[in-house]
A = this chain, B = another copy of it.
């Protein structure tokens, strides 16, 4: 165990607290790094920032925005973020890019995304690859949110693609989870997933532009109908289905009013803080799981045992199950590893 007195104050601490986005970017790179020394540095930095950030943290709003590719998430976030920065709010956008798992980039580059918003001095935009390694989305995104808050960002928007596991993870680290839909309900190509719809705090039919309007109305009705089949919320919140056109700028302020209203209710009932605490503990559990696997994968005597067991499995000298039991018993100090 480390002697905490001897940990020097991290040089990024002061500039982050002053709002330096350069320092913020460096800190997020530490978080995302796969080097163990960087992870430890990031851990220490987060711990050092934690106490000075308590009030910033409890005043921030964390919003998750999800939806299938093509639904217009980026444009939606750009317009919403633009409105908020005009009101003088500091807005951070963290985008999780599941396409950059292997090659570090989607076929359709995204260098030009959110060009307007990125020019605002009140905005910070960061794309995080949904790394294929242990821990998934949560590993990098949770600490990145904390870092943005330490740097004074008041609204944190997390963008994720609406298919699969990652949005359930994201929903568990935000105060408000928004799901965008294309006009045209019931179309299989939308790949709307029931489990994801169930956890949304609001649904927005986006791209309600001109000729799409009647289709959008139908989508709205379809979604309202679908929502009624879901179990009702513990907090009695009735999930609204809103209409918006990010490209034409319609309906975005209604979405923001809905978010503010929801957060207001949550704060008054104490549910806001309770949910944050629950998410903190869930995050801690995810970190433990991550650290457990890491501890196993980086333990030198364990790994030489594992290599021996691999040979034994392939030669038929042992079975996968027996080898598994030996490896775990050894890891827990209950079986000799030599």
A interface with B by C-beta (< 8 Å):
1, 43, 47, 50, 68-70, 98-103, 105-108, 130, 132, 134, 136, 161, 163-166, 168, 186-195, 197-199, 226, 277, 280-281, 283-284, 287-289, 291-293, 295-296, 306, 310, 313-314, 319-325, 327-329, 331-334
Contact = CB atoms under 8 A, between A and B. Distances in A.
Contact of A70 (B188, B296, B324): B188
Contacts of A283: 320
A130 to B, nearest CB: 8
Nearest to A107: B194
Contact of A291 (B134, B195, B324): B324
A327 B1 CA distance: 12
Given A190-B69, A192-B107, A226-B107, A325 B98 contact: no
Nearest to A189: B70
Q: How many copies does the complex hold?
A: 2
A176 to B, nearest CB: 19
A287 B164 contact: no
A323 B191 CA distance: 40
Contact of A198 (B103, B306, B321): B103
B132 A281 contact: no
A277 B320 CA distance: 12
A165 to B, nearest CB: 7
B328 A331 contact: no
